Amino acid sequence: MIENENRAIGFFCPACQQAVIAEKSVFELTATNSTISCPCSKCELKLELQDHLIRMHTPCLFCEESHVFTCPLELFLSEKIIAFSCGISQLDTCYVGKREEVYKAMDRLQETVDVLANQNDEKSIFMNEVVMQEILEEIKVIGERGGISCTCGSQQWNLNLTYSAAEINCTVCNGALKIPATTLSDVDDLCCKMTLTIQEKKNA
């Protein structure tokens, strides 16, 4: 380890979404507590010294909480790169290490940030994509074994999807059965059903 080498610290600002990468000398880091602020000045990462440990308060773009990471000072100052990850999103939320390694890692993470930002812009079509997928899979399985029918006697149906539900419609009488698709318990509920019955729609 080269004593005078700078350490880079990188994270994404939850307020303005930009990458913040700062360099601190080993001298600075071991002398006193320090702070790294985003240029937007809305958030900052705090470093606190505590004996041979360094405690880092990191703003997190992914869950918008702040995480506290504790790391042995020796590792903090010597590792090529250390990734600290958000316990909620499982994504890396902060890197510490050699300058070029931190820049590389932040570049990779930027791609994820971009994807997530796009998703938020478009507002996903379903409230919970994963649950909707599982619900559709289940409906398909039940349908394939002939388990879907309407009280009018029809076994012809089609599927309409909304933001939070899958609706099975009888093609004969237009009756509908709405299957909620927002939480994992919706999936559990559907999994234990052998058959699905649409209530006939009686024409007035």
Q: How many residues of this chain bind Zn ion (CB under 5 A)?
A: 18
Judged by CB under 5 A, the residue of 54, 105, 109, 150 near Zn ion is 150
Please report whether residue 13 would count as binding Zn ion according to CB under 5 A: yes
110 to 66, 114, 197, 198: CA distances (angstroms): 19, 6, 47, 47
Judged by CB under 5 A, the residue of 5, 15, 22, 55 near Zn ion is 15
23 to 20, 26, 36, 60: CA distances (angstroms): 10, 10, 9, 19
At 104 the three-state DSSP class reads helix
Token pair of 37 as six digits: 């602020």
Q: How far is the CB of 202 from Zn ion (least distance, A)?
A: 10
With beta carbons less than 8 A apart as the criterion, state whether 169 and 156 touch: no
State how far the Cα of 131 lies from the Cα of 64, in Å rounded to an integer. 23
Nearer to Zn ion, 10 or 175 (CB): 175
Nearer to Zn ion, 61 or 77 (CB): 61
Please report whether residue 177 would count as binding Zn ion according to CB under 5 A: no
State how far the Cα of 101 lies from the Cα of 67, in Å rounded to an integer. 22
Please report whether residue 38 would count as binding Zn ion according to CB under 5 A: yes
Q: How far is the CB of 22 from Zn ion (least distance, A)?
A: 13
With beta carbons less than 8 A apart as the criterion, state whether 145 and 181 touch: no
Please report whether residue 200 would count as binding Zn ion according to CB under 5 A: yes
Nearer to Zn ion, 78 or 85 (CB): 85
22 DSSP β-pair partners? 9
With beta carbons less than 8 A apart as the criterion, state whether 38 and 20 touch: yes
Judged by CB under 5 A, the residue of 28, 30, 40, 75 near Zn ion is 40
* Interface characters, 42-81, with Zn ion (x: CB under 5 A): ------------------x-xx------------------
State how far the Cα of 142 lies from the Cα of 133, in Å rounded to an integer. 14
Please report whether residue 85 would count as binding Zn ion according to CB under 5 A: no
Residues that bind Zn ion (CB under 5 A): 13, 15-16, 38, 40, 60, 62-63, 86, 88, 150, 152, 154, 170, 172-173, 175, 200
